[in-house]
Amino acid sequence: MKTSKVFLILLLTVTLAGCASLSGKKGGTQTAKKKQQEVIHRLANNIPLYPKFKYVPDKSFFFESNGVKAGVMVFEGKGRVGDLVNFYKREMPGYGWTLVSSYQYGKEALIDFSAPDKTCQISIEEKPFKTVLTVRTGTRETEEYAK
């Protein structure tokens, strides 16, 4: 009798813990989707997003303080480095960006853009099963910040 009570308590504990973790995952998924929508909304006005690439929130971050804004946004999807490079060289000027430099070496590329008040660096790495697109952007340092 005592053994069955202990077993029943253990079974109940494991079941409740499993239910709690399932509800946490669902909320986590919804939070990740909401965060992705916020990122896409934020970027849509400033930087074109390569079609069908998914935002990776675990590898991304934003910082904002005293007028300084910076962010690293990571996206993953399928695409060739050359195609992504051509896309950004073609599309970024329409968003107010000027190409500063572009380097492509094998299955990796680095593209730098500037605008009057901000900078953007896009790195692309083609891996065997996915392509990783990293967009780093931030406000440009002015004399006020340099003091």
pLDDT tens-digit readout, 37-70: 665 566 656 899 899 999 998 998 888 788 788 8
What residue segments make up the domains of the chain, in order of their start?
1-45, 48-146
Q: Tokens 């973790």 appear where?
A: 21
Strands 68-77 and 54-55: antiparallel
Whether 95 and 114 have beta carbons less than 8 Å apart is answered as no
Average pLDDT over residues 89-93: 97
Q: Is the CATH code 3.40.1000.10 the one for domain 48-146?
A: yes
Q: What is the mean pLDDT of the chain?
A: 78
Whether 74 and 56 have beta carbons less than 8 Å apart is answered as yes
